[in-house]
Amino acid sequence: MGQTVAYLDAQLGMTEEMLLGAFFALGYSVTEFVRVVAALHILPEHVQLREYDSAGIHGMRLIMQTDALPERICSINEVEVLLAQVPLSLTAREKVAAIMQRLFDAQSTVSGQNSVPLALSYRALVRNLATAIGVVHACEAFHITHLSSSPLPLSGVPAPETLELLRQAHAPCHATMLDGERITPICAAIVAELVHFEPVVFTIEQLGYGFSGADFVTPAYTRLCIGTTNRESVAPCAQHKDGADTDWITVIESNVDTMTGELLGGLMERLLEAGALDVSYTPLQMKKNRPATLITVMCRLEDGERLAYILLSETSTLGVRMQRVQRLKARRYQTSIETPFGPLLVKVKRLGARIISTAPEYEECARVAREQHIPLADVYERVRQAISNAMLE
């Protein structure tokens, strides 16, 4: 089966009401939401979900009231206490904690008080925490493995922490004439922690619209699309104009200077078995002129964190570098041709309808060399001649 992915069309904005409302429009249960946030003292009467129609579009409008909560000041440490009481999976709880940490870090950065504990409104804390919990829990309920988004609109006067979070996420943004604050800080923190902006090809199966409860003059909704990809990747190939394929992968790198050749050999086998697309080693010199090895791992987007953890846990490295990069690839496939040794598979490289090159397949040639007790180089040469005669190149 394909993987379940979600795409957020946030060109008109993304607030907590709009984002959660889109999930509710697709069937996320408000009763379930209230159950998981009950530890925050949010009761059923504090959450209202109303159907809403605008310009021929039907969706949901969420109203979450926190005015009845205690009006007091609290510290960041209260997040950990509250989260421990929320009935979430360990993975979901860690994601929520990471979202909130991003929000607090951004607030500290823009205030210039990195070393001073933040004093927070309990009502604001609960509202932000409930939003993060709801989004993470909804993604888990829908089995979403990859969340991507459109570019985000900058309108009105965005909060400084919103801009800081979008900067950290390298989120594509565009200035608009839309009225009001269209991206809220907690949604920017969710974007920074959970959302990818690489293109994803998928089949849309469900659409939901979440509307804002604010009095905007122009339309304000977040559109959520959920669907499935093929089974190979959350970022399938797209066709480039010159016939090449493009896709997105994660590249992981780390420098190690205390591992033997035997251990590095075993590590390569381990990474390839775990799903790496390619693993390579490059000799280099580190500080104090120590000889070392640069480990480079290429993998699918969804495998990045898992393979990075293998490097952290099974090598001497103290850290890894990760980046998402785009590849431009020629198409490659195997075909069978007649050779003096019978039908053998050869490798074909193609750009669009044009064959660029054809080469012997190593495993096929090695098998023939072993079976007939002849040099591998001779097998290669005769297969190359057969390729030329077949006019595949």
CA distance 329 to 333: 12
Confidence of residue 393 (pLDDT cuts 50, 70, 90): very low
Tell me the whole-structure pTM to 2 decimals: 0.61
Is the pLDDT reported for residue 81 higher than 80? yes
Write down all domains in the chain, each with its CATH number in brackets: 4-228 (no CATH), 239-329 (3.30.70.1380), 331-390 (no CATH)
Nearest to 147, CA basis, from 95, 196, 207: 196
Range of weakest confidence among 136-145, 259-268, 334-343? 334-343
Residues 6+ away with beta carbon under 8 Å from 386 = 337, 338, 339, 340, 344
* Matching residue, tokens 């570019």: 151
The pLDDT value given to residue 204: 93
The pLDDT value given to residue 78: 84
Confidence of residue 247 (pLDDT cuts 50, 70, 90): confident
The pLDDT value given to residue 253: 95
CA distance 36 to 95: 15
Range of weakest confidence among 29-33, 170-174, 179-183, 212-216? 212-216
Please, what is the average pLDDT of the chain?
Answer: 87
Is the pLDDT reported for residue 171 higher than 50? yes
Pairing of strands 152-154, 173-175: parallel
DSSP H stretches of helix in 239-293 = 261-273
DSSP H stretches of helix in the chain = 16-25, 30-36, 77-83, 90-111, 122-141, 160-168, 185-194, 261-273, 304-314, 362-372, 376-390
Confidence of residue 229 (pLDDT cuts 50, 70, 90): confident
The pLDDT value given to residue 232: 47
The pLDDT value given to residue 355: 80
Is the pLDDT reported for residue 238 higher than 70? no
